[in-house]
Structure 1
Amino acid sequence: MTESIAKVRKAVIPAAGFGTRMFPASKVVKKELFPIIDKDGRAKPIIQIIVEEAISGGIEEVGIVVQKSDIPVFTDYFQALPSYYQKLSAEKQEYCQYLQNLGSKITLLTQSEQAGYGHAVFCAKEWVGDEPFLLLLGDHIYASDVEKTCASQILQVYEQANQSLIGVRIIPGTEIHHYGCISGNLVADGLIDIDTIYEKPDLNYAREKLHVSGMKEDEFLGVFGMYVLTTKIFDYLEENIKQNAREKGEFQLTSCLDKLQRLEGMTGYLMKGRCFDTGMPDVYRQTMIDFRND
């Protein structure tokens, strides 16, 4: 008899960074609250678009990891009515109710110190419990090329793979030093049996160690910014934190993903869609253009 697969009910979004790459605007506005104009012409904060992406895949609860001092900012956005509520049109009042409904699915988790992406993920351990969870970057937004949203795609593939999963995309060698990458064997239907996960390799290393058979020369599989992970990842993150095993001064996720892959196996999935970075001025500007027109 086939073992039943635990439904993925929770998503984690780390959003506790200082946003120094978006300085000076990030002095007064959290970078996760910077606006993006969606296809309907509505100005939404980045974090809302990410939460909606998670919910679109059937996620029931979303944990956003924030700095303690930023709790009122996120609470006000998702739960409080604006002081000028009565002056809004009926349509906008209805949208305020929609935001409150969205907020009812959100739990704000805190990161006591900004010690890296892996540390931020670890801060969700108690809230996640013993369930597999969807992990989304706090500064990436997503657009699907097919009817199913990107979150729906990766959650459906997880049910088939029944092991931790990393969404990937094809990136040129000229960009590989900006991203986490994987290598492995192409299986079928965009699935990759992962054998290596590596953070921001240089091109020579990637050519030697990370090229995937069947792909074009100097094309590689870069991380899409969307994962489904088992809770074993928290054990490796905790081990690094206890041993103060930092990489470039911070606790990273990638080395722990590689350990998880070696223990449990891990599948890559070539996403049918695009991810858009919002974490730096130039790419944020381009995302403002591309996301609405995608």
Structure 2
Amino acid sequence: MFPVAGLGTRFLPATKTVPKEMLPIVDKPLIQYAVDEAIEAGCDTLVFVTNRYKHAVADYFDKAYELEQKLERAGKQEQLEVVRHVLPEGVRAIFVTQAEALGLGHAVLCAKAVIGDEPFAVLLPDDLIWNRDGDGALKQMADLAEQAGASVIATQEVPRDKTASYGIVATEAFEGRSGTITGIVEKPAPAEAPSTLAVVGRYVLSPRIFELLEATRPGAGGEIQLTDAISALLAEEPALAYRFKGTRFDCGTHIGLINATIRFALDHEKLSEPARRMMTDALTELGVRDSD
């Protein structure tokens, strides 16, 4: 499940007409990286929770007959294959409208009728997680969830002065990369945070979360927080915090998007060398200017 109903106001004016999930990292939009990660983890039904104004994500995953015909006539087979396979065969995309922006918990709840009574994953496309030489973060989490019979939440250590920007978990029996969650607090002040282990944009959740979300009262700003429902879930079922293998890029910020673009360009098969030369030249030129 992908919550893509946000307005992306940090990136205005670009996001006035282009959803933030469609912002590109080199040659693919953010949403494609999240979708690829979900498919790698074994997901074959992709639920996008969007709003009534954002059609670009649905258009992206729809068939583009005119474009495909033009590419085929031009003999551009490589580009044609890229366009035709944004989703592989056997994977379906379903779009659900979130009528009001009432928080992440409400967005997840909007997917209940589609997901039903089975475990599911939530991926926030803003959080681009890259594991260059191994399984993606969601595949790591899905394997652990199946093995442990528990919900699994991706976490990352953050500086204590940044805890007010995240959900923060308390854990016990932390071994290796995972530990049992004993508590979760939404955006605590640094002095009140139970740890510096922050929740980031990947969840593997029990379907019980839907009933708990229905019973969750709106909090600050009138939003239904997923964190509150997870806190209630802890009283009934185990949930694990997981330190994923890989690098997280916070592409909900300008610098995070720039960082991801640079890193992916430097790793790109065709662009790596020219990108390195361009960056070296730019840094050299800026160094000369700074010394003047």
TM-score in terms of structure 1 length: 0.83
**Amino acid aligned to 2:260:** T
Q: 1:181-196, aligned counterparts within 5 Å?
A: 181-196=168-183
Matched AA of 2:47: G
Equivalent in the alignment of 1:105: 92
Q: Of 9, 12, 25, which residue of structure 2 is paired with 1:36?
A: 25
- Equivalent in the alignment of 1:170: 157
Take 1:268 and 1:250, find their aligned partners in 2: how far apart are those partners? 24
2:276 maps to what in 1? none
User: Does the 8 Å CA contact 1:169/1:221 hold for their aligned counterparts?
Assistant: yes
The alpha-carbon deviation at position 136 of structure 1 amounts to 0.7
| Cα separation, partners in 2 of 1:59 and 1:188, compared to 1, 3 Å | same
Output the amino acid matched with 1:164.
S
Cα distance change, pair 265–197 in 1 and its aligned pair in 2 (3 A): same
Residue 236 of structure 1 pairs with residue 212 of structure 2:
yes
Contact 2:44/2:90, CA 8 A, preserved across alignment: no
Q: Confirm whether residue 142 of structure 1 aligns to residue 124 of structure 2.
A: no
> Greater CA deviation, 174-183 or 59-68?
174-183
1:79 maps to 2:62: yes
Is the aligned partner of 1:48 residue 2:24?
A: no
Long gaps (5+) in structure 2: 268-292
- Tell me, yes or no, if the aligned pair for 2:19 and 2:57 is still in contact at 8 Å: no
Please say if 1:262 is aligned against 2:199: no
SS in structure 2 of the partner of residue 154 of structure 1: helix
Unpaired segments of 5 or more residues in structure 1?
1-11, 38-42, 212-219
Aligned residue among 198, 201, 208 for 1:225: 201
**Alpha-carbon distance in structure 1 between the residues aligned to 2:168 and 2:81:** 43
Shift of 1:103: 9.3
Aligned partner of 1:114 among 92, 101, 109: 101
Output the TM-score relative to the length of structure 2: 0.84
Question: What SS is found at the alignment partner of 2:201?
Answer: strand
Residue by residue over 1:106-158, the C-alpha shift from the partner in whole angstroms, topping out at 9 and shown as x without a partner, is 11111111111111111000000001001111311111265222111001100
- Aligned residue identity for 2:177: G
Q: What residue is the counterpart of 2:250 in the other structure?
A: 277
Alpha-carbon offset, residue 198 of structure 1 = 1.1
The whole-number CA distance in structure 2 between the counterparts of 1:174 and 1:246 is 23
User: What percent identity do the matched residue pairs reach?
Assistant: 34
Deviation >6 Å, runs of 4+: none
Deviation at 1:95, TM superposition (A): 1.1
Q: What is the CA distance between 1:104 and its match in structure 2?
A: 4.8
